[in-house]
Chain A
Amino acid sequence: MTATTQAGSQTEPAPGLRRRSWRLRRIHVPSWLVVVAAAIPILIVILGFLLPTITGYSTSAFVAQPLQAPSWAHPFGTDQFGRDILVRCFAASHIDYLVAVVGVGISATLGSLIGVAVASTRLKWIDWAVMRIADAVIAFPFIVLALAFVVVFGSDTGFLGLPQGMPALFAAFLLVGWAYYARLARSQAVSLRSRDFVTAARLMGYSNARISLRHVMPIVMATTMAYAVGDAIITVSLTASLSFLGAGIGPPAPEWGQMMFDGRSLLEIAWWMTLFPALLLVVSGLCLAIIADHSIKRIEDRA
């Protein structure tokens, strides 16, 4: 099919307004890199499952001498209790990724639903009220809120077999996360609703629910997802930070932030305790960033 053709639609900039040197050079990410970036986290998760079996070490057992430097037997060394760090590092990914995926997934969906609903309501005060609540939530310092939750829920609460501290963490992320997505979704929904296809849908008699859920929401989610991947990176770092502060996932569950917390006072003599979790954290973040950038580009191209 031929691409769009429109008479007189060529709006060119005034002569001289667009100078070559002003154009931002966009770093071109080759597609193979995106594939690699998508594969690495998956690989990490799989290794997280397999390594205990392969090496014979479990994530919580004391298997060797404490504070051993990296060697053939323990490629990432051991921690202060003699636990193998390699196995723990990769297993930690399960927890961090889980919080990110579940936390972001639920926040994004819930927040987007709220945002779209609020954009389509005829009662303008509801729109106003919800957005002000969202503003307040966003303005509040997140770490303080998370710490407050930990106090309330108690970091010892193991819930549904989840590691200690996880329920508190989920609660914190959900309570705050929805607000960002609600704002994003609402502004998108508002601008979509002004487009003619929504007018046409109204004129044909489609219900508000149908318009919101079947027309507006899918378009909103497509763009929201790109933001969500970026959000996942932040969530992973926040989880690690909170655990580092002692307010996140409790021991003995392996978690990167917590492992770095353990290693911080032993940095001079056991640098491996901090380096490897940090490395995996950074690599995960980088991969997610590449995927996020790629998704955004895909969506931009489509629009």
Chain B
Amino acid sequence: MERQQCIEVIYPELEDKLVVTIMGACAQELYDLGHRDNFFYLQHAMGLASSIGLGLATHLPDERVIVLDGDGSVLMNLGTLTTLARYRPKNLIHIIFDNGSLLSTGGFDSQTTAGITDLAAIARGAGVEHVAVATTALQFGEAVLEAFERDDLSVIVAKVLAVGPDNYGMDLHLPENAFRFKRYIREKGSL
């Protein structure tokens, strides 16, 4: 399964959700499907996408927040799983694309390569009750559907191939992304 397939599967559902992605391939693949002002691309600060998601979900209980994370990023901030478990925002879905690779920085193996480290087990051990693992697009779609129906914190670990887009580039400055994302939330809140 490729990450891009997974993002395509959920893309229609993201129209009215607050989405935070990590850097590199994941951000590019979402952007290439069509940027929306409710998408925030964290192009650096690896590990903090889920922390941004927690800050959003805690303060916007009526919004649905989706974090698109990666194994390399999560490994840089494993404590985030314990903080998510402790505060358990019901409106947060944390999707971790596990390609066992630091793909965007040269394709070096990460600690999850060949199943050495099990991120789903780490999430469960951190205290997250609803953790799913998907190895096919069908399983991924089902896991996301269940997470949307569930009114509780969900972590989905999607095992994907270490492949990314051929070309990188966005017509969007980083502060512009932040300004528009914030404005989207403010305008939606005032409707």
The yes or no verdict on A and B being binding partners is no
Point out residues on A near B: beta carbons under 8 Å: none
